[in-house]
Amino acid sequence: MAIKGNLRDFNVTQLFNLINLARKTGTLTLEGQSESAWVSFREGKLIFAHIGKEDSTLPGILLKGGLINPSQLRAIKTHAASKSDKELGLMLINAGYVSQQDILNSIRQYILDIVYQLFTWLDGFFRFDTDVLPPEDRISIRLNLENVIIEGARRSREWEQLQEEIPNLDMSLNFVNRPGANIRDVNLNVEEWKVVSYVNPKNTIRQIARATRMSDLDMRRVVYGLLQAGLVEIVRPEGMPLPPQVKQFKPVDEKQQASLVNRLIQRIRSL
Amino acid sequence: MQTVKMVVTGPFNAGKTHFIQSVSEIDVVSTERKITSEAERVKETTTVAMDFGRITVDDDLVLYLFGTPGQKRFDFMWEILSEGMLGFIVIVDSARPETFREARGILQTFRAYAPTPYVVAANKQDMADAWNVDDLRIALKIDSKVKMLPCVANDKESVKKVLLELLYSILEEINP
């Protein structure tokens, strides 16, 4: 019988720990709020991961890793569509496009990027299916889970902190109109510049994350840095309706209300 | 008889109960209980439901001051307490920076509950290691338009000043 439950009760760290200690072989399916993910293990080692509609074939992974460009990806898909990942990998190595180490590093990074993201999932259904493994033609690697768990737990704590700081990605960013604050004078890295180029009350943080292909965690990290540096502020997106106010003042006569407040002021002064 | 309500909120041990006690004409109806959490054992008791103080203005008008429970697990009470409030005061313990993040969260929560005026009281300004109001404003990311006032919650004059500033803000909102 499959191990199944909700991440609220048994989180990703605990699941990975269980899989590691019990040296399990199979695939863990996680259903998050907006997408699903599949993580495969062999005898307690992490061997593969796939999330949502992401292209987890070798060409897709190499594109994500920056080892091929989109036109090369198209060419590979046109001319080598029938080849398995293993055959394609050999072909690319023999043609001198990439080394074996390049391929393994890209797959490793791809898997870890997905898995670390999963540590931030606090809610959702999970199921572990014993002996279900990724298709044979996929190139799998073997990663020790201990290090993954330690790093994942660290990121999970960071995630909680960042989520507290930036709880809503559907808000926008705007440059702070502060004397002396000039974005050109600040040393930003490539990711920060990418985000800065989209800063505009019309773009939500979530939209910027999509446009820059950044994970929610990375996006929150960048936004947190920009906020702390006092370069940007969080604003309501243009055109976003105000949230319904649960509690509103009853419509009152302004004169009456002013009189009431003035009476309160007089009373408190006299205390 | 008309009654109006102000809410006094802030993190655990920020000084909400003292604040209300300083100006209430009745003994504050406090629902304090012994603290069970080791992490929060910086004082013996804490408010678990609400503090309740009263200032009678005249025969027709009474002001009630409600203090929210400081421990996070009682935050389900906040929305109930915020209903119909005239304004609210966020009390911050100026000497405990570890509570600033929570104070900011509480402030944002109350702002979401009701669009009423509010002020921030930087309490425990009489303590040697209290942060000054300007530094606190930056740490808490309080907009320069929001009044942030130095406060000593067991000093009646200090509390009166905070209440008055909140009332002035309410008045400004009525007559911009």
Answer whether residue B8 shows pLDDT above 90: yes
* Residues of chain B found within 8 Å of residue A174, distances taken between Cβ atoms: none
What's the pLDDT at A16? 92
The C-alpha of B154 sits at a distance from chain A's nearest C-alpha, in angstroms, of: 14
What's the pLDDT at A164? 80
Find, in chain A, the residue whose alpha carbon is nearest to that of B25.
A271
Percent of chain A predicted with pLDDT > 90 = 32
Model pLDDT for residues B10-49, shown as the tens digit of each residue? 988 899 999 999 999 887 766 555 655 555 555 666 555 5
| Rounded-to-integer distance, Cα B139 and Cα B100, Å | 7
Find, in chain A, the residue whose alpha carbon is nearest to that of B102.
A164
Per the model's pLDDT, the better-predicted residue between A251 and A35 turns out to be A35
Assign A174 a pLDDT band (cuts: 50, 70, 90): confident
In which residue are the tokens 């002020």 written? B119
Answer whether residue B155 shows pLDDT above 80: yes
**CATH number, residue B137:** 3.40.50.300
Find, in chain B, the residue whose alpha carbon is nearest to that of A234.
B141
Find, in chain A, the residue whose alpha carbon is nearest to that of B63.
A264
Assign B112 a pLDDT band (cuts: 50, 70, 90): confident
| Rounded-to-integer distance, Cα A230 and Cα A176, Å | 7
Residues in CB range of A20: below 8 A, 6 or more apart: A44, A145, A146, A149
Give the tokens for residue A1. 């019988």
| Rounded-to-integer distance, Cα B89 and Cα A186, Å | 37
Among A249, A254, A264, beta carbon nearest to B63: A264
Answer whether residue A102 shows pLDDT above 70: yes
What's the pLDDT at B134? 86
* Residues of chain B found within 8 Å of residue A263, distances taken between Cβ atoms: 57-58, 61
Would you tell me the crossing angle of helices B156-174 and B16-23 to the nearest 10 degrees?
A: 90
Among A164, A246, A262, beta carbon nearest to B105: A164
Answer whether residue A141 shows pLDDT above 80: yes
How many Cα atoms occupy the beta-carbon half-sphere of A262 within 13 Å?
8
Assign B97 a pLDDT band (cuts: 50, 70, 90): confident
CB pairs under 8 A between A and B: 62
Among A248, A261, A263, beta carbon nearest to B174: A261
Percent of chain B predicted with pLDDT > 70 = 81
Model pLDDT for residues A114-126, shown as the tens digit of each residue? 999 899 888 899 9
Q: In DSSP terms, which residues pair with A29 in a beta bridge?
A: A38, A127
What are the helix (H) ranges across chain B?
A: 16-23, 76-82, 100-113, 133-139, 156-174
Assign A245 a pLDDT band (cuts: 50, 70, 90): very low
What is residue A186's DSSP assignment?
S
What's the pLDDT at B45? 61
Tally of structural domains, chain B: 1
- Residue of B58, B72, B113, B141 to mutate when probing chain A, most A C-beta within 10 A: B141
The C-alpha of A213 sits at a distance from chain B's nearest C-alpha, in angstroms, of: 29
Assign B85 a pLDDT band (cuts: 50, 70, 90): confident
| Rounded-to-integer distance, Cα A58 and Cα A68, Å | 11
What's the pLDDT at A247? 41
Answer whether residue A250 shows pLDDT above 90: no
Residues A10-18 have a mean pLDDT of 88
What's the pLDDT at A255? 82
Among B83, B164, B175, beta carbon nearest to A247: B83
For chain A, what is the mean pLDDT?
85
Assign B75 a pLDDT band (cuts: 50, 70, 90): low
| Rounded-to-integer distance, Cα B77 and Cα A86, Å | 59
The C-alpha of B114 sits at a distance from chain A's nearest C-alpha, in angstroms, of: 6
Assign A215 a pLDDT band (cuts: 50, 70, 90): confident
Please indicate whether, in this complex, the C-beta atoms of A245 and B63 are within 8 angstroms of each other: no
The C-alpha of A262 sits at a distance from chain B's nearest C-alpha, in angstroms, of: 8
Q: Torsions phi, psi of A126, nearest 5?
A: -135, 155
Please indicate whether, in this complex, the C-beta atoms of B167 and A257 are within 8 angstroms of each other: no
Model pLDDT for residues A72-82, shown as the tens digit of each residue? 888 888 887 78
- Residue of A235, A247, A266 to mutate when probing chain B, most B C-beta within 10 A: A247
Q: Determine the structural domain holding residue B82 and report its residue range.
A: 2-174
Residues A13-22 have a mean pLDDT of 88
Among A247, A258, A271, beta carbon nearest to B160: A271
The C-alpha of B97 sits at a distance from chain A's nearest C-alpha, in angstroms, of: 16
What's the pLDDT at A248? 41
Please say whether the beta carbons of B20 and B47 come within 8 A: no
Most confident of the following: A2-11, A59-68, A69-78, B156-165: B156-165
What is residue B54's DSSP assignment?
E
- CA B33, B39, B40: angle at the middle one, nearest 5? 35
Amino acid identity for residue A31 in this structure: E
Residues B92-115 have a mean pLDDT of 85
The C-alpha of B128 sits at a distance from chain A's nearest C-alpha, in angstroms, of: 27
